[in-house]
Amino acid sequence: MNMKERSTFRSGGSPLFVLGQERSPVAHLYIHVPFCVRKCVYCAFASRPITPEAENIYLDALEKELRAVRSRLLPRTVFIGGGTPSCLSIAGLERLMGLVQGLDLSRLEEFSVEMNPATVDQSKARIFKTGGVNRVSLGAQSFNNDILKQLGRIHTAAQVTETYDLLRSEGFEHISLDIIFAVPGQTLDDLNTTLEALIALRSEHLSCYEMTYEEGTPLTAWARRTGFRPDEALSCRMYDTLLERLEQEGLVRYEISNFARPGRECMHNIAYWRGADYYGAGPAACSLLDGVRYSHPRDLTDYSRSICATQPNKSGLCWEGWEADQISPLARAGEIAGVGLRMSRGWRFDEFYQATGFRLEEQWPEEMEKIYLRGDGEFFEGGFRLNRKGLRFADLAAEEFIKLEERD
Ligand code: SF4
């Protein structure tokens, strides 16, 4: 097995994405909304300021894309993320909900939308509710106004609580809150204050992300300029604090950064972590279909051009400008092994075999042994998982499985 088995190509003459009904339908749909009111200083996601004109260009192209792929989609989960989906206009949101409603939703179980607390009012909450959204991911990030300002967030701590209460009063029964920890200058006391405010809201789900320094962001430029170095020991203490306090409250960590009350885990993200196929619509969205990873152009104009220039034909659909990365089955299984270990439950060997057609215990015994010997993982009856320390550094563990593709 070597790297030559993975090839990247741009869409050209032959169809990449076959529309035929004979293939099994895709059960997980992601829709990327590429707009934000203002860019946060740490953010590298594809988003730009919203204008009425850009919103129309986006929705026209998205409509065309979803119409073209509709016959291959039978979603159990839909996730609208971004960007800030809730910053679309009222008319834009109604149109977006209409596009989703135009799909076959007979199997739909979970419909999530990301929202920013400063961009939701009662009218928008009602459009989401009537449109079938049953799970909200609300970006709180912190309950300290100074930190929110430092991060470039457009909302205050009070707005998080107000929006949360509004969503509850509009009947949303599954709300997830996002926070960021290890922000430069943040103390353990500050994290504890944020944590207690979060816990008081009693959401069903929490995502707690450690601050990362992404290329091209103002935060990373600042860190370089000032020679700032994150305090790794403090970050570890913060993570341990989160873990202990949230578990006391009945929020169980089921993935490195995600905590849920029993039965309230995010089905859509679990599908990614267990290796399911998914379709991503919108600029910068990625899809994983039949062992090929596709990426849309990141820029809105390029995305719109590629969608509008494409005509599906009988044999398939070849979006102009799509990047496609063909992954060999074993390389893909290695990725799934590593990504799946982000979940606290790890892999049961039979479950892994069902998901990939490869045996974890036969293909990667040395890698698991290595993780076990350095004290990061444990074998259990019929499977393997990372332990508390290993989960903190799960990306390192994942590399062990992905390296396999470099072997001859
Ligand atoms: S609101 Fe979210 S997507 Fe938009 S800039 Fe901030 S972090 Fe990025």
Residue 294 inside a domain? The answer is: no
Answer whether residue 344 is part of any domain: yes
pLDDT of residue 291: 84
Q: Is the domain of 247 the same as that of 357?
A: no
**Which CATH number fits the domain that encloses residue 104?**
3.20.20.70
Q: For residues 196 and 118, state if they share a domain.
A: yes
The mean pLDDT value for 157-183 works out to 98
Domain boundary among 273, 307, 322: 273
Q: Residues 269, 343: one domain?
A: no
DSSP strand pairing (347-348 vs 377-380): unpaired
Same domain membership, residue 339 and residue 265: no
Ligand 1 atom nearest residue 83's Cα: 3
| Domain contains 235 | yes
Same domain, 149 and 29: yes
Domain range spanning residue 375?
330-406
**CA of 39, closest atom in ligand 1:** 5
Model pLDDT, residue 46: 86
Statement to judge: residues 226 and 339 lie in one domain: no
In a domain, residue 358? The reply is yes
Q: 198-216 pLDDT, tens per residue?
A: 999 999 999 999 999 999 9
Residue nearest to atom 8 of ligand 1 (CA): 43
Which of 45-59, 308-322, 388-402 has the highest mean predicted lDDT (pLDDT)?
45-59
Which residue puts its alpha carbon closest to atom 3 of ligand 1? 83
Residues touching ligand 1 (Cβ under 6 Å) are 36, 39-40, 43, 45, 47, 82-84, 116, 139
303-325: pLDDT as tens digits:
999 888 776 555 455 566 677 78
Range in 1-15, 91-105, 283-297 the model is least confident about: 1-15
One domain, residues 245 and 360: no
Predicted confidence (pLDDT) at residue 186 exceeds the cutoff of 50: yes
- CA 44 to ligand 1: nearest atom: 8
> Same domain, yes or no, for 240 and 356?
no
Which residue owns the Cα nearest ligand 1 atom 6? 40
Which tokens hold the place of 220?
Answer: 């990373």
CA distances from 233 to 10, 175, 230, 236, 386 (A): 44, 31, 9, 5, 20
What is d(CA 159, CA 137) in angstroms, rounded to the nearest whole number? 15
Q: Which of these three, 234, 249, 273, is where a domain ends?
A: 273
**pLDDT score recorded for residue 292:** 85
Residue 312 lies in a domain: no
Centre of ligand 1 from the C-alpha of residue 279, in Å: 22
Domain membership flag for residue 298: no
Question: Residue 140 C-alpha to ligand 1 middle, in angstroms?
Answer: 11
**Taking residues 55-79, what's their average pLDDT?**
94
Residue 406 has pLDDT above 60, yes or no: no
Identify the domain boundary among 255, 273, 291: 273
pLDDT at 16 over 60: no
Specify whether 49 is located in the same domain as 184.
Answer: yes
pLDDT digits (tens, 9 = 90+) for 89-105: 999 999 999 999 999 99
pLDDT, tens digit, 9 for 90 and up, residues 23-39: 688 999 999 999 999 99
Tell me, yes or no, whether 56 and 125 share the same domain: yes
Q: Atom 2 (ligand 1): residue with closest C-alpha?
A: 83
Exposed e or buried b per residue across 184-194, where buried means at least 16 C-beta atoms within 10 angstroms of its C-beta: bebeeebbeeb
282 within some domain: no
Q: Among 65-69, 149-153, 308-312, where is mean pLDDT lowest?
A: 308-312
Q: What is the mean pLDDT of the chain?
A: 91
Q: Using most ligand atoms within 8 A of CB, pick from 36, 154, 177, 207 the residue to mutate for ligand 1.
A: 36
Categorize the per-residue pLDDT at 3 as very low, low, confident or very high, splitting at 50, 70 and 90. Answer: very low
Task: Output the pLDDT for position 318.
Answer: 58
Count how many domains the chain has. Answer: 2
**Residue 48 CA, ligand 1 centroid: distance in Å:** 9
Specify the CATH number for the domain of residue 372. Answer: 1.10.10
Say whether both 250 and 345 belong to one domain: no
Domain co-membership, 262 together with 336: no
Q: Residue 139 Cα, ligand 1 centroid: separation in angstroms?
A: 9
Asked whether 141 and 299 are in contact (CB, 8 A), the reply is no
Q: How far is the CA of 402 from the centre of ligand 1 (A)?
A: 30
Q: If you average pLDDT over residues 320-331, what whole number do you get?
A: 81
Q: What is the pTM of this model?
A: 0.92
Predicted confidence (pLDDT) per residue in 333-352, tens digit: 999 999 999 999 999 999 99
Question: From CA 91, how far away is CA 97, in angstroms rounded?
Answer: 10
Structure-token pair, residue 341: 């270990």
Ligand 1 center–CA 30 separation, angstroms: 17
Q: Is residue 297 part of a domain?
A: no
